[in-house]
């Protein structure tokens, strides 16, 4: 359980799917990051990329693990994007897809930059870059497409996503690549949750970039809660665009800071959709815990939308509300709300069931401050052909070890087939020994295996290895013996694995 005296701060770091390895390699400033040989752990059929935005005092990097065992640390200095020493937080978010149709998995990387400092008045225009100007890297966020090649990721493959850059916008804190049905190309969604909207600081904005089949991007839409097709209104500190999950012809947006009536930080979720024929935005859906069909009620600090995930195959959407209090008074025990496909407009969703650790058939017990639902993932990763749900409980105590963390794996209610429910934890069915503040389950993702079974990626960003590095990503394949471990390529003490994104190809 977390410290009842205050909320554990959210930390940024990212991961996307490819493959794995262990090694230490350093790259001189200004030199092109080399692709290193070496065999990685088994169990990943695709390339995996892990954002490490804290490395080099916040310059940031992305650790890339290729499916053939090679590995590469990709940084903004080596790519020629920024001077050495610039705090860009490169790797704040990562997504993967083959954007130029050459058969190689490419990256979309966010570098959120610095938000407004503690001594800065966010209500003053002093800290808002005027329209028509471009804030310096580090003062505002950036996002790039990095095209893969036979030589890995190089400066020749960099494509900037040209959006407005404003001081403190946190552009790139989240990215997602959406799959289109009915047209070619991709949609790349980039969140700027720190942006001021209509005088409301940190109301937040979501950018949609249309990317052609040769990876040429153009800004298609700038979306906020004052936009005509988006219900609600832009308000201070909503941070719209902070949490994203790719979905069919669109994206799911978690807004846990959203106030519902007088209930601050109650949270909301938006289903943004595009028309399958025109690619134009259509009317967005919005859900809170006060919405019809959603059990319970919106309450202060529920943080509904702190985690979002969508399965393209089944259409299932999962939403975490880790701040949910149970009816018996257990504070921040947490909840997950599920949504299914609707019979109405294409790509719309409808509320389905909800789940807590007190639900029938869920192993363990609900405890205060566990924050069940801090991470979610959906897909057929536990049993072949069966849509399953994974729920991260990173603040779960195991014995005397605080915030060691665990993961619940269970079949999505109503899904076809059968699959046993499991609670995953270190020393039980995950490798390693439980230690305080491992935060196992802080982030989750599904590796789509194609001809091989899907896998579940489990981030444990607080795990400390014998080599001095901090952070691990576990590749769960259904048994302890088959679980692989992804470790940082280089440099300790960076909380490797605080966010996870996956190639949905």
Element holding 55 (H helix, E strand): helix 55-58
Q: Is the pLDDT of residue 296 over 80?
A: yes
Q: How confident is the model at residue 464 (pLDDT cuts 50, 70, 90)?
A: confident
Q: What is the mean pLDDT of residues 302-316?
A: 93
**pLDDT score at 494:** 60
Note the pLDDT tens digit of each residue in 78-108: 999 988 888 889 999 999 999 999 999 999 9
Cα R_g (the chain), whole angstroms: 21
Section 442-469 average pLDDT: 78
Q: Determine if residue 478 is left, alpha or beta; phi over 0 gives left, psi from -120 to 50 gives alpha, anything else beta.
A: left
d(CA 300, CA 324): 9
The tokens for 160 are 């900037």
Q: Percent helix, strand and coil across the chain, each rounded to 5?
A: 5, 35, 60
pLDDT grade for 486, boundaries at 50, 70 and 90: confident
Q: What do you get for the CA distance between the two ends of the chain, in Å?
A: 36
Predicted confidence (pLDDT) per residue in 8-20, tens digit: 333 444 555 432 2
Residue 300 lies in a domain: yes
* Phi and psi at residue 415, to the nearest 5°: -70, 150
Residue 6 pLDDT exceeds 50: no
492 in a domain, yes or no? no
Q: How many domains does the chain have?
A: 1
Q: What is the mean pLDDT of the chain?
A: 82
Q: What is the pTM of this model?
A: 0.88
What's the confidence (pLDDT) of residue 492? 53
> In Å, how far are 270, 283, 409 from 150, measured between CA atoms?
39, 42, 37
Cβ 311 vs Cβ 303: under 8 Å: no
Residue 32 has a pLDDT of 44
Provide the phi-psi class of 242: left if phi over 0, else alpha when psi is between -120 and 50, else beta. Answer: alpha
Q: Which domain holds residue 412?
A: 15-25+34-118+135-486
- What values do phi and psi take at 347, rounded to 5? 70, 15
- Token pair for residue 109? 């990387």
Quick one: pLDDT at residue 5? 37
- Number of neighbours of residue 124 by Cβ within 10 angstroms: 10
Report the pLDDT averaged over residues 17-33: 30
Q: 180-234 pLDDT, tens per residue?
A: 876 788 999 999 998 889 989 899 999 999 999 999 999 999 999 999 999 999 9
Name the β-bridge partners of 320: 307, 336
**Residue 178 within any structural domain of the chain:** yes
Query: With 0-12 CB in 10 A as exposed, 13-18 as middle and 19+ as buried, what is 261?
Result: exposed
For the chain, give the percent of residues with pLDDT over 90. Answer: 50
Yes or no: say if 477 and 461 are a contact pair by the CB < 8 Å rule: no
Residue 496 lies in a domain: no
- pLDDT of 24 > 70? The answer is no
Does any domain span residue 497? no
Please report, for the domain that includes residue 357, its CATH number: 2.130.10.130
In contact, 98 and 107? CB cutoff 8 Å: no
What's the confidence (pLDDT) of residue 165? 76
Q: Which tens digit of pLDDT belongs to each residue from 96-150?
A: 999 999 999 999 999 998 654 433 334 433 334 444 455 666 678 899 999 999 9
- Domain-located, residue 158: yes
| pLDDT score for 389 | 95
Answer whether residue 306 is part of any domain. Answer: yes
Could you tell me if 256 and 243 are in contact, meaning their C-beta atoms sit under 8 angstroms apart? yes
Q: pLDDT of 239-271, one tens digit each?
A: 999 999 999 899 999 999 999 999 999 999 999
Tokens of 493: 């003490």
Q: What percent of the chain has pLDDT over 70?
A: 80
Residue 471 pLDDT exceeds 50: yes
Assigned domain for 7 exists:
no
How far apart are the C-alpha atoms of 19 and 32, rounded to whole Å? 21
pLDDT of 480: 56
């Amino acid at each position: 359980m977390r410290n009842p005296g205050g909320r554990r701060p959210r930390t940024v770091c990212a991961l996307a799917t490819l493959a794995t390895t262990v090694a230490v390699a350093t790259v001189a400033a200004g030199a092109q990051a080399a692709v290193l040989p070496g065999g990685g752990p088994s169990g990943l059929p695709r390339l995996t990329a892990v954002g490490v935005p804290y490395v080099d005092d916040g310059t940031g990097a992305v650790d890339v693990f290729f499916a053939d065992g090679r590995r590469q640390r990709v940084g903004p200095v080596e790519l020629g994007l920024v001077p050495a020493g610039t705090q860009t937080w490169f790797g704040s978010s990562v997504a993967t897809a083959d954007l130029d149709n050459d058969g190689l998995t490419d990256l979309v990387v966010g570098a959120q930059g610095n938000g407004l400092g503690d001594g800065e008045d966010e209500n003053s225009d002093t800290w808002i870059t005027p329209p028509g100007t471009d804030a310096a890297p580090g003062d505002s966020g950036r996002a790039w497409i990095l095209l893969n090649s036979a030589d890995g990721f190089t400066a020749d493959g960099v494509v900037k996503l040209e959006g407005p850059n404003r001081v403190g916008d946190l552009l790139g804190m989240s990215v997602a690549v959406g799959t289109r049905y009915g047209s070619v190309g991709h949609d790349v969604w980039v969140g700027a949750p720190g942006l001021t909207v209509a005088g409301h600081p940190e109301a937040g904005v979501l950018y949609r970039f249309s990317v052609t089949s040769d990876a040429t991007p153009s800004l298609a839409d700038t979306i906020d809660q004052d936009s005509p097709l988006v219900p609600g209104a832009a308000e201070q500190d909503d941070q719209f665009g902070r949490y994203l999950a790719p979905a069919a012809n669109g994206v799911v947006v978690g807004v846990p800071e959203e106030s519902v009536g007088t209930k601050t930080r109650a949270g909301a979720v938006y289903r943004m959709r595009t028309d399958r024929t025109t690619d134009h935005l259509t009317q967005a859906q919005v859900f809170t815990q006060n919405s019809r069909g959603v059990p319970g009620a919106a309450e202060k600090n529920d943080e509904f939308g702190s985690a979002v995930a969508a399965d393209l195959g089944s259409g299932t959407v999962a939403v975490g509300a880790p701040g949910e209090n149970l009816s018996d008074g257990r504070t921040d025990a947490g909840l997950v709300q599920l949504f299914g496909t609707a019979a109405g407009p294409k790509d719309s969703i409808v509320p389905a069931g909800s789940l807590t650790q007190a639900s029938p058939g869920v192993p363990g017990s609900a405890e205060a401050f566990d924050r069940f639902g801090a991470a979610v993932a959906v897909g057929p990763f536990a049993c072949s052909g069966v849509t399953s749900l994974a729920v991260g409980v990173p603040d779960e105590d195991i014995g005397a070890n605080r915030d060691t963390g665990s993961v619940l794996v269970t079949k999505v209610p109503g899904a076809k087939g059968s699959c046993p429910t499991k609670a995953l934890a270190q020393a039980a069915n995950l490798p390693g020994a439980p230690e305080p503040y491992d935060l196992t389950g802080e982030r989750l993702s599904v590796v789509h295996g194609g001809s091989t079974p899907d896998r579940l990626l489990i981030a444990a960003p607080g795990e400390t290895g014998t080599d001095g590095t901090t952070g691990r990503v576990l590749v769960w394949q259904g048994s302890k013996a088959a679980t692989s471990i992804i470790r940082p390529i280089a440099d300790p003490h960076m909380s490797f694995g605080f966010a996870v994104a996956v190639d949905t190809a």
